[in-house]
Structure 1
């Protein structure tokens, strides 16, 4: 009986030669790397097995599959030995083993991939061409890929290196971490970097640029973090605003929502095919056509196929050309191309062809966690989903039950297939993945459609894209809330950091799983065949399409989601309009912190007529986006006045992001004598967006809104040269409103030169009229004595001090009102209220029925 089963299995595998070839090829790559096989021993046995396979494939029914497996195993092993840098004397890894590798090196290479954010730095992948150990006098040819970490949180930095740039690096090469891919030969952390010239593939560079532009378009149409989530869902791009949400998606098993997937590729290909579908649809009387007429009718089908293939290729590049994107794009292309070639689409064959092609181009892709999760997740869905579907069939009696069954079955199947990868790579196991996927995955199709609509409409009319963004905000906000809720549940996930896990244990897991599936297939093959009435894909020689009932339910669900979003939009707009009518002038001073520990201020002024004034932006774009988008209405994508008081990064970083995400009416600053890269980027952004810009000088006055005036007290003209120019020439403003004179002293409070000039200017004009003073001081440093003299001259009733610090945000104290004895500086005895703000904190000053009120607020 067992011999008959073995013979039947061999005959089945003989009908699937691509699966046999892929299995042998991948096994050969792994064995060659683990055993470090020399390349000289493999060509002769490889040639012999290939000849035997070609000769005996049709003659020897039983041995043909085994010969094919052996030949591809040897082929994969030989391919791996040729690519293994451990066998290459010119590889960069050999230099690290020599004494010269410990000294400072000069490396010349080309950026071979678009920059990515890792932590709070930019990661560049550089293909090395030459190295020098004597400062660039003598060059040695070397090759290999290194990872370079540079400062910055901008993915598309016009003053930083990008894809295709030839760069010159000066720094120390260090070995990569043990969990990195074997093809990564070294790391360079914050080296001195210069861009020599621009190069690379022009088409890829154009698509990468388009990817960043589409991400910027979505960020302008939506508030954060909803915009960051939609960018990740549609483009697979991780922006800084997504970093706080990424752990939530990981621990809830919903990380697949923010990476490329085959479903996204298939959906977008269908969107392209929809307008041409009537032209490509076969008519009942096509059988009457002559052969020449039939060939002409087939041209429409091939045109449709070509457009779909181009769409898939472009979307694969727009998704980042990572392993998951390449796998999804390749399988999507096979799905579109198979009917045109008269072939049926077989999921396992397509998966094998994809793995074979990707590993042929780069054998080290097998060590990439993205490839492992994508490959095994797809395999688990098509193989294991039918097993989980049967015990869940009773749920189909409920409304939209088939969609519920599909979501649960697919989630459980993917989780079982990728369990060891998550445990080893991310050191965590999610226990709420079925629930989290059940409440979020049904919205994926709607979010993709809305994301595509925003991008297409944004290219024609940005206001229309903003309107679609209003609709997209509600499902995006719901997904974030649902994922956060699931992550907060008790026992939502388990950390495997201290568990005795190892690679052999993972291989043992898959061995046991394969054995159990083999026994199940032999005893009851019908368990692995999906039901045609649900939406799961067939795993046999053909692929089923969802039934009419399933498609009708999906259409009703999509229409209901859009209708609910419209209803919520109307309700939110009505509530915001009613609250806006009753609100007066509101000033909010934020003390913001970056993940690196630096802090900085930002001030938001919301006027009664709806105008917005933003002064400074803090040291972190994500921190500003969280507080800014939380306080502005959903549709508020316009800032009337944008003011930069000093070019310090603690004030400029967040403001730069606001300038790129909002439509700006007027930009103001005090000018800079020696601009740095950050200030140059600020001015470039304003210039490219056509924002009116004005440099302020002492004595000027502006009217941002009714009953509101800005007076410029500092800096004078010309600017002061030498010393701390950023603080010596800091912008000092006086905001005048009915019953309020507020002095925005800012960083000038730490400049003796600026304070001396202000003492003269204020003393000669109208001392004592400022009842509120806002200043910025550095923790642990006493301000100049002129600061106390200025306070004595002004006699304010309220002093708010933002305390900057470079400590970790976790160690920062909460904002409290301090007593006179706790003040780190000398103030006049008549000062009634003093507040010290330490990030994260917020101080609000607003009009009320009885006048002005103030106090601390939630950031």
Structure 2
């Protein structure tokens, strides 16, 4: 059997996936594994010719057993107390993960204190504390009082599943503490002394940057050197993500490689015998891995570096597929569910590309660069081949997890390697000197800040280049399989001798493979039209955001959701929920953005969206008049009178909302006001009419809620009415206006509050009602009386707190409904 460890690892990985997906009983799997082991021992003893098959089955079963054990053994009895205020005694098993407004820890539960009684418990808890001034350390024993909860599963299909992410790391519950007095240190329980010392060293070293650099540069430097990302601002993370070098901001294989290269160079300068390289480098690499958090990429790189070092030290042959397989096997034995971690997948895919594809690409570019200096040609060929190989090997994974590809990632990585090497060297030097005398660290970091700023400037320059990032809908898994099949086919053909039977077989498979890839691409590509309209009631928690995709391929977003203080912070629902949802389904521009009224839960996410999505038209209310005729606003007046046309309601317009409207108008977005009787001409196949507010009428006592835009959308025989947050007074006036309100789908006003007139339900006469509402909200939405009224009327109810996103597709006659929590 050639390279048996590669085959064993592949089967073990298949077993891990099988165990997670099937829910196989541990006892049965363990019995089968023990049986296989005994048969394998007997087969080896008696030289049974089928024994290799038994050994292969054993590795498959081992993966299954370890997977089930990892899932079942990590489940904590604290799950039964989710949703309750509890007091917990536990030991910290991680350092502080510091953010701008809170700090996270990983806590090993010891005792639950409830009703004056102490109950022994076990399991890991993710602790969130809203106090960044007093930090605790690994091994501290704490008494913590807070709200225990299990994260909700995602409501939007394809959204990041935070609950599953934590469970795969052995964490089933989180404990949220809003009062710093609710956390008390009651002792110390050292834990692993090496881990404790490594985290103490990390904390001491990272303070050198914190005290001697501006906050933004210090955050980047500590991210590059120590892997602490919590204080890196969102714009910087997005810039690195969109240029294909986000791995730079957390310690990865590149950092381990640079550290090893630095150690080898240092040993050479100090005239240390090559025979001592492996023994001396090993503890340094292991300590650095522990200090930076032992993420999958660091583990992979450290294991491979050590294996290569010791193979060279012992004079053994180096076989990279076996080394790569062994590194994967060790990580998955430690935690089988790391197989799902994006860092694990991206790290191993990139390494496979570097080792398998880059030699072929370098050879190709050497041929291409014939005629120039061999030294220059070799450097250029290697410089292009290495990042290109990594990109080719990770494109499907990057598209799957981030919904983008970055054409500028090759020049970005070429620039990053020398600059990151310099930043890493300067950062470690300054951190070390800072322990002797802080001004020495400041002296070194005076140069470091120049390099960091240069690096950030280059990244931002590349990000702004036309075509620097291409956003894609989430590709189907089969397309990823076809991509890797194509890479293996092409590389296999290149490695196979010309004219050999194997090469002839590969050539015969080419037409079928190309046809399959083309079919998958056609199926995946988000073709516009299709004579079907899709309406997405996105799950944004307590708020509204509704996407309408018309038969002609137009996209209209009604509200953007928003969290408290999102106007001020610029982060929340817009960047974390709505934008990812749009990217995943292939929406990269908005033909119309409707903001029903200026409350943050309806338009807080708009600031992020207008900065990151092209928007043609913004429709707002209640501001100055004008009808929506689909033509651009004239250049000699503010579009829709945005600058000073806000209708007075008695409720103060948030300054951030006014600034948002001005920014949209200044950035070339056509901003228009709307009132009853206006028509939005977005697509000739659909009819969108504005039913409220009355342009010249009073808005009403509920202020901005009663100023909400109300839209009725008709496509064929299917109709939808979107009512914003209108309350009783606006509902009464709409009934008196005599407007046609009858609709198949009724988006309930104000998240299903009790302010719903039965007469309005009768007038709309819907078959389906949608309540956009947040789980566990403190407003009592939806009101039981409202839900009862709809049931009495025989209306089918969908709620985003229970069903997640509600996705309706219609051909103009029949409406089909899918929900996020049932389809994800």
TM-score of Structure 1 vs Structure 2, range by shorter chain? 0.5 to 0.7
Query: What is the CA deviation profile of residues 170-191 of structure 1, one whole-angstrom value per residue up to 9, with x for unaligned ones?
Result: 2333223524243321223335
Query: In the alignment, what sits opposite 1:718?
Result: none
Query: What is the CA deviation profile of residues 11-67 of structure 1, one whole-angstrom value per residue up to 9, with x for unaligned ones?
Result: xxx232221221111111111011000011123321333344456569979856543
Query: What is the CA deviation profile of residues 65-113 of structure 1, one whole-angstrom value per residue up to 9, with x for unaligned ones?
Result: 543332111011112222223xx5x932x654x5x53332333322222
1:91 and 2:78 aligned: no
1:409 and 2:396 aligned: no
> 1: CA distance between counterparts of 2:223 and 2:250?
7
> 1: CA distance between counterparts of 2:497 and 2:363?
8
> 2: CA distance between counterparts of 1:369 and 1:228?
23
How many Å apart are 1:332 and its aligned residue?
Answer: 1.8
Query: In the alignment, what sits opposite 2:697?
Result: none
> 1: CA distance between counterparts of 2:325 and 2:398?
22
1:311 to 284, 301, 309: 284
1:128 and 2:76 aligned: no
How many Å apart are 1:279 and its aligned residue?
Answer: 8.7
> 1: CA distance between counterparts of 2:659 and 2:41?
66
Query: In the alignment, what sits opposite 1:322?
Result: 295
Query: What is the CA deviation profile of residues 536-574 of structure 1, one whole-angstrom value per residue up to 9, with x for unaligned ones?
Result: xxxxxxxxxxxxxxxxxxxxxxxxxxxxxxxxxxxxxxx
How many Å apart are 1:485 and its aligned residue?
Answer: 1.2
Query: In the alignment, what sits opposite 2:33?
Result: 46
How many Å apart are 1:248 and its aligned residue?
Answer: 0.8
Query: What is the CA deviation profile of residues 808-858 of structure 1, one whole-angstrom value per residue up to 9, with x for unaligned ones?
Result: 9976999xxxxxxxxxxxxxxxxxxxxxxxxxxxxxxxxxxxxxxxxxxxx
- Partner-residue secondary structure (3-state), 1:240: coil
- Contact 2:96-2:135 within 8 A present in 1 as well: no
- Contact 2:99-2:230 within 8 A present in 1 as well: no
1:169 and 2:165 aligned: no
Alignment of 1:255-266 (within 5 A): 255-266=246-257
- Partner-residue secondary structure (3-state), 1:143: coil
- Partner-residue secondary structure (3-state), 1:343: coil
Query: What is the CA deviation profile of residues 698-720 of structure 1, one whole-angstrom value per residue up to 9, with x for unaligned ones?
Result: xxxxxxxxxxxxxxxxxxxxxxx
Pair 1:129–1:421, CA change in 2 (3 A): farther
1:370 and 2:361 aligned: no
Pair 1:318–1:35, CA change in 2 (3 A): same
Pair 1:280–1:69, CA change in 2 (3 A): farther
- Structure 2: stretches of 5+ with no match in the other structure: 154-160, 499-563, 570-653, 664-824
- Partner-residue secondary structure (3-state), 2:173: strand
> 2: CA distance between counterparts of 1:333 and 1:270?
13
Pair 1:217–1:41, CA change in 2 (3 A): same
> 2: CA distance between counterparts of 1:58 and 1:519?
40
> 1: CA distance between counterparts of 2:492 and 2:49?
20
> 1: CA distance between counterparts of 2:381 and 2:328?
29
- Contact 2:87-2:146 within 8 A present in 1 as well: yes
- Aligned length in residues: 495
How many Å apart are 1:447 and its aligned residue?
Answer: 2.7
- Contact 2:5-2:326 within 8 A present in 1 as well: yes
Pair 1:57–1:361, CA change in 2 (3 A): same
Query: In the alignment, what sits opposite 1:453?
Result: 429
Query: In the alignment, what sits opposite 2:361?
Result: 388
2:195 to 204, 209, 213: 204
1:17 and 2:7 aligned: no
Pair 1:598–1:331, CA change in 2 (3 A): same
1:137 and 2:121 aligned: no
Query: In the alignment, what sits opposite 2:606?
Result: none
Alignment of 1:196-275 (within 5 A): 196-199=186-189, 200-238=191-229, 240-274=231-265
> 2: CA distance between counterparts of 1:500 and 1:276?
47
1:71 and 2:50 aligned: no
How many Å apart are 1:807 and its aligned residue?
Answer: 7.4
Q: Which moved more, 1:412-421 or 1:57-66?
A: 57-66
> 1: CA distance between counterparts of 2:184 and 2:662?
40
Greater radius of gyration (CA): 1
How many Å apart are 1:312 and its aligned residue?
Answer: 0.5
Pair 1:359–1:341, CA change in 2 (3 A): same
Pair 1:175–1:114, CA change in 2 (3 A): same
- Partner-residue secondary structure (3-state), 2:449: helix
- Contact 2:147-2:177 within 8 A present in 1 as well: no
How many Å apart are 1:241 and its aligned residue?
Answer: 4.6
1:491 to 456, 463, 467: 467
Pair 1:598–1:489, CA change in 2 (3 A): closer
- Structure 1: stretches of 5+ with no match in the other structure: 1-13, 282-299, 529-593, 600-804, 815-859
How many Å apart are 1:500 and its aligned residue?
Answer: 5.2
Query: What is the CA deviation profile of residues 447-472 of structure 1, one whole-angstrom value per residue up to 9, with x for unaligned ones?
Result: 33333332344444555544433333
Query: What is the CA deviation profile of residues 584-639 of structure 1, one whole-angstrom value per residue up to 9, with x for unaligned ones?
Result: xxxxxxxxxx987779xxxxxxxxxxxxxxxxxxxxxxxxxxxxxxxxxxxxxxxx
> 2: CA distance between counterparts of 1:423 and 1:451?
33
Pair 1:217–1:813, CA change in 2 (3 A): farther
Query: In the alignment, what sits opposite 1:351?
Result: 324
Query: In the alignment, what sits opposite 1:440?
Result: 416
Query: What is the CA deviation profile of residues 96-147 of structure 1, one whole-angstrom value per residue up to 9, with x for unaligned ones?
Result: 4x5x533323333222222224574322222223335x345241x4332232
How many Å apart are 1:305 and its aligned residue?
Answer: 2.5
- Contact 2:126-2:175 within 8 A present in 1 as well: yes
Query: What is the CA deviation profile of residues 681-700 of structure 1, one whole-angstrom value per residue up to 9, with x for unaligned ones?
Result: xxxxxxxxxxxxxxxxxxxx
- Contact 1:166-1:198 within 8 A present in 2 as well: yes
Query: In the alignment, what sits opposite 2:789?
Result: none
Query: In the alignment, what sits opposite 1:480?
Result: 456
How many Å apart are 1:491 and its aligned residue?
Answer: 3.2
Pair 1:188–1:217, CA change in 2 (3 A): same
Query: In the alignment, what sits opposite 1:148?
Result: 127
> 2: CA distance between counterparts of 1:62 and 1:383?
33
> 2: CA distance between counterparts of 1:464 and 1:361?
41
- Contact 1:125-1:147 within 8 A present in 2 as well: yes
Pair 1:209–1:38, CA change in 2 (3 A): same
Pair 1:401–1:230, CA change in 2 (3 A): farther
Q: TM-score, normalised by structure 1?
A: 0.52
- Partner-residue secondary structure (3-state), 1:173: strand
RMSD: 3.6
- Partner-residue secondary structure (3-state), 2:228: coil
- Contact 2:360-2:491 within 8 A present in 1 as well: no
